[in-house]
Amino acid sequence: MDRAAHPATQFEVDVDLGFALFFLFLLCFFLLVTVVRCAQTVMDPYGSISTSTYQEEQIT
């Protein structure tokens, strides 16, 4: 069998693949956060709205 052309001591890093994976994980994280926020809004749609926006205020 032929041995590898590069010795095993040489450490090669594919920088483009690293950046792509980093941004992919970042995108998945923001997607997960968005899904959780939307689920909270669906479960309690009026919980994040202040009461003054949907209740009439007293005018004196």
Q: What's the pLDDT tens digit per position in 3-18?
A: 656 555 677 879 999 9
Model confidence at 25, in pLDDT bands (50, 70, 90)?
very high
Q: Where would I find the H helices in the chain?
A: 15-43, 51-54
The confidence band for 2, taking pLDDT boundaries of 50, 70 and 90, is low
Can you tell me the mean pLDDT for 12-38? 95
Q: What pLDDT, on the 0 to 100 scale, is given for residue 38?
A: 94
In the numeric block, the tokens 């004196």 are attached to 60
Q: Say how far apart CA 6 and CA 31 lie, in whole Å.
A: 40
DSSP letter assigned to residue 3? P
Per this entry, what is the length of the chain? Answer: 60
